[in-house]
Amino acid sequence: MFENMNIFEYAVANKLRFPYKGSVSTEDLYDLSVTELDSIYKNLKREVKKANEDSLLVTQSKEDIVLDIKIEIVKFIVTKKLTQAEAKKKEKENKEKRERLLEIKAQRENAALENMSDEELDKALAELEN
């Protein structure tokens, strides 16, 4: 059915909707929090369990395949959001560390200037005036 299509192409082509406050489209999933996506995931997993309980057949129906695709989409988006959040956190930590290092460097430069003799300060001032 979707051998030559990826899950997002399938979702768009078939206008998949996900159970959340009624229903939401695939693109709306990106606007939801990880917690809200987890809630959708749990609902989908319950649907899978219910579908498996109702049938003695091992073959997958179209509905089973659609549920599997929906679950994979939600898992993909959650993973992407968690990865982005981790990258953003690391970027923030690196920025803070860089600012601290620059601050320490500036303090050391100030300390070096304060430890200069009057002659060295006069010489430095004279060089700046030229």
Instruction: Calculate the dihedral angle through the C-alpha atoms of 49, 71, 57, 2, rounding to the nearest 10 degrees.
Output: 170
pTM for this prediction: 0.71
The answer to whether 20 and 32 have CB atoms below 8 angstroms apart is yes
- In this model, does residue 123 exceed pLDDT 80? yes
Tell me the pLDDT tens digit for each residue of 10-40: 999 999 999 999 899 999 999 999 999 999 9
Tell me the pLDDT tens digit for each residue of 84-110: 999 999 999 999 999 999 999 999 999
The answer to whether 19 and 36 have CB atoms below 8 angstroms apart is no
- In this model, does residue 119 exceed pLDDT 90? yes
